[in-house]
Amino acid sequence: MNKRWVLFLPAIAVFGLLGLFGYVFWKDVDVREIPSAREGKPMPEFRLTAVNDPQTVLTRGSLDGEPYLMNFWATWCPSCKFEHPYLNSLASEGVRIIGVNYKDERDLALDWLADYANPYEIDIYDPNGDLGFELGVTGAPETFFVDSSGVIQHRYQGPIDSAVWDNKLKAIYDAME
Amino acid sequence: MMRWNKPLATVLCLALFVGFAWAAEESLYFDNEELRERYQTLTFQLRCPKCQNQNIAGSNAPIAEDMRDKTYELLHLGYSNDEIVDYMVDRYTEFVIYKPRVTLGTVWLWLAPVLGIVIGAALILWLSRRSRQTSQAPLSDEERARIQAILDKDSESS
C-alpha cells in the first residue's frame, strides 16, 4: 500500500491554512489596506475651479504635459500639515504636484497656502469631494501618480515623508513617462 | 406593577430602536416608497471603505456620508440597484460589497468546501473499502484446516 500519503491530506490542508494565517499575522499584512480601483486607468473627466480663482475652470486637459503627483489635501487634515513641508521640498526639486483641495473652504485653503507656502503648480478646488469620489479617495492626504498620458500609475494613502519617498515612491515617480 | 412594566419596557425599547433607524436616514425626501426601500437596501449592502466593517448606513465617516448621498442621487437619476453597486465598485473596489463576486480568484470560496467534502468522502470510502478487503482476504487450505480443527476442538469440550 504505497497510497498511504493520501491519509496525510487533511493534515497538509490544516498546516497549509496555519501557514497562511501565520504569514498574515507575522508579516504585518495591513488588512485595512484597500487596493485602488483606479490604478492603471486614465484620470477621470472633471470640471472644477481653481482654489485661487473661482473664475478659472479646470478640466482633465488642464493637467496635460509632464507626469505629476495629484495630492488631495485639506486644512482640516492634520496629516496634511505634517506632509506639507516635504511637498514643498519635492516641488523645489522640480517634482510636478497638482493639489486638490478636498472638501474644504476656499478662504481657509488660501490662508493655509499663504502661511505654509504653495507646492502646487495647479490647485483644484473640490469642495464636495466630487473628483475625490471619482478617484476612490477615502480621506486626506492621498496622492496619485499620473503619467504624461494621463494614466494613474500608483495611489498612495497617508502622508508622504522623506523615508517613504526615498524607499518607495521616488522609484515609481522616476519610472513614469 | 410588574404586569404592565414589561410591555411598557418593550414598547419603549422598540420606540428607541425605530428612532435610531429613522435618524440614520437623515430625513431624506424620496419620490416614492419604492425608492426609499431601495435606498435602505443599498445602504445596508454597501460597506464603508474607511471603517472596520460597517455598512454605509451605520457609519458616520465622511466617506460613508458621501456614498449615501451618491446612492440617493443615482437612485433618483434612474439607476438600477446593480448599476449603483457597479458604480461604487468601479471607484472603491469590491471591498465595498460584502458578498464577493464570482471571479477566478474568488470562485475558490465556493469550490474549496465542495472539494473538501468530495475529497473527504473519497478518503473515507477508500479507507473503508481497504479495511473490508483485508478482512475478506481468502484463506489458504492449510488455514481453513487449522480453523476447522480449532472449532471442532471447541465444540467437543463444551
pLDDT tens by residue, B72-98: 999 999 999 999 999 999 999 988 998
Tell if the CB–CB gap between A35 and B90 is shorter than 8 Å.
Answer: no
* B91/A contact by beta carbon, under 8 A: yes
- What is the predicted pLDDT for the residue at B1? 44
What is the rounded average pLDDT of the residues B32-60?
Answer: 90
* A103/B contact by beta carbon, under 8 A: yes
The complex's ipTM works out to 0.83
Tell if the CB–CB gap between A37 and B66 is shorter than 8 Å.
Answer: no
Tens of pLDDT, residues A53-95: 999 999 999 999 899 999 999 999 999 999 999 999 999 999 9
3-class SS letters over A40-109: CCECCCCEEEECCEEEEEEEHHHHCCCCEEEEEECCCCHHHHHHHHHHHHHHHCCCCEEEEEECCCHHHH
What is the rounded average pLDDT of the residues B106-133?
Answer: 88
Of A9, A13, A34, the CB nearest to B93: A34
Q: Is residue B158 very low, low, confident or very high in pLDDT (cuts 50, 70, 90)?
A: low
* A136/B contact by beta carbon, under 8 A: yes
Residues of B in contact with A36 (CB under 8 A): 93
Q: Is residue B2 very low, low, confident or very high in pLDDT (cuts 50, 70, 90)?
A: very low
Q: What's the CATH code, domain B2-96?
A: 1.10.8.640
Tell if the CB–CB gap between B93 and A136 is shorter than 8 Å.
Answer: yes
**A80, A88 Cβ separation under 8 angstroms:** no
* B36/A contact by beta carbon, under 8 A: no
Tell if the CB–CB gap between B119 and A32 is shorter than 8 Å.
Answer: no
Whether the per-residue pLDDT at A139 is higher than 80: the answer is: yes
Q: Is residue B28 very low, low, confident or very high in pLDDT (cuts 50, 70, 90)?
A: confident
* B118/A contact by beta carbon, under 8 A: no
Of A6, A32, A133, the CB nearest to B66: A133
Instruction: Report how far residue A142's alpha carbon sits from residue B91's, in angstroms, rounded to the nearest whole number.
Output: 15
Residue scoring higher pLDDT (A146 or A28) = A146
Residue B25 Cα, gap to closest chain A Cα (Å): 20
Order of strands, edge to edge, in the sheet holding A122-126?
A53-59, A47-50, A122-126, A97-102, A68-73, A142-146, A152-157
Of B63, B89, B123, the CB nearest to A6: B123
CATH 1.10.8.640 segments of chain B: 2-96
Instruction: Report how far residue B41's alpha carbon sits from residue B62's, in angstroms, rounded to the nearest whole number.
Output: 20
- What is the predicted pLDDT for the residue at B6? 61
CATH number (3.30.420.40, 3.40.190.10, 3.40.30.10, 3.10.20.600) of A47-175 reads 3.40.30.10
